[in-house]
Structure 1
């Protein structure tokens, strides 16, 4: 065992302590020294493991966010390619006005394009700084990838085309008057 220290020797000589008490105290001190070291390292290991798990979770969340952003960018790029490949050239002397968010925009088109737009065969989509006309099939592909690019779609199924005034009586009265889709204003 360990060599007794000077204080223990003095207590033994003075008769204030017994040899059994001194050896028991020495054993407890030795156990405490040995016991605390593994506890401290185990606590450090648990803390390190917790930090590693938190870091792995953060890394997974960041990777998922990056993947979602990359997927959204990829879908927008595919929509741009579809619009470029299938855009119907439009030219004419007749103005076709439509709402694009809070602004009213104008496209110059001819009578055949106006009929196709009002029938729902053509759809207006935003394309860069301007707008483009797309056939319905191409517009559906764009809608799957970037629905915010669709500006005007008169042939969309399930959507109410009658605007509401906010008053049920007025809506019922004005419902008897049909507004043509190809109205020029």
Structure 2
């Protein structure tokens, strides 16, 4: 009847009677059962914490992958710019343009300057400076990622003039120096 050796010794010594021993054994069984239910709750909490941690880790992995893809795309665009830029552009003609709210100036030869003003060439931001590129490449770069093309005069040339404009007949030269 007595399951515990300690309980048997207490019964022999007369310190505990049978009724109290049964009560203690029932209480021990009850504690064991509730302890198991606490273990189940604990296991459920651990599983839930693991699921939350897994979800956070997956979100962080997606963010890292997205950043890495952005860096790879940026590197690919810089490589395209370096491969396709027109190399022999140095000349005496100064071409001024705005980049990050600052007026920048590059010196070009007359042929490159005329093509840039006409819109068949564009200026793109390079890692250390600026590069002159063909218009077709600029369209491909803008499709992939914006922010590299600084000057694209073909967009200005395609704009239609307002018919009610009294100064429509007067063309402002692009090479006007003040």
Which TM class, normalised by the smaller chain length?
0.7 to 0.9
Partner residue in 2 for 1:114: 113
Partner residue in 2 for 1:168: none
Partner residue in 1 for 2:40: 42
Partner residue in 2 for 1:176: 167
- 1:151 paired with 2:150, answer yes
- 1:76 paired with 2:74, answer yes
Q: Could you tell me the TM-score, scaled by structure 1's length? A: 0.74
SS in 2 for 1:74: helix
* CA distance 1:102–1:92, change in 2 (3 Å): same
Q: CA RMSD in A?
A: 3.1
- Counterparts of residues 134-145 of structure 1 (less than 5 Å): 134-145=133-144
* CA distance 1:175–1:113, change in 2 (3 Å): farther
- Counterparts of residues 119-134 of structure 1 (less than 5 Å): 119-134=118-133
Q: CA deviation at 1:103?
A: 1.1
Q: Deviations over 1:1-60 (max 9, x none)?
A: 335866652xx8xxxxxx5xx587456414412311211211221121122112111211
Instruction: Tell me how far apart the structure 2 counterparts of residues 24 and 176 of structure 1 sit (CA, whole Å).
Output: 109
Query: Any stretches of 5+ residues in structure 2 without a counterpart?
Result: none
SS in 1 for 2:97: strand
Partner residue in 2 for 1:54: 52
Query: Any stretches of 5+ residues in structure 1 without a counterpart?
Result: 13-18, 163-171
Q: Larger relative CO (CA 8 A, sep 6+): 1 or 2?
A: 1
Q: CA deviation at 1:75?
A: 0.5
Q: How many residues align?
A: 166
Partner residue in 1 for 2:27: 29
- Counterparts of residues 155-166 of structure 1 (less than 5 Å): 155-156=154-155
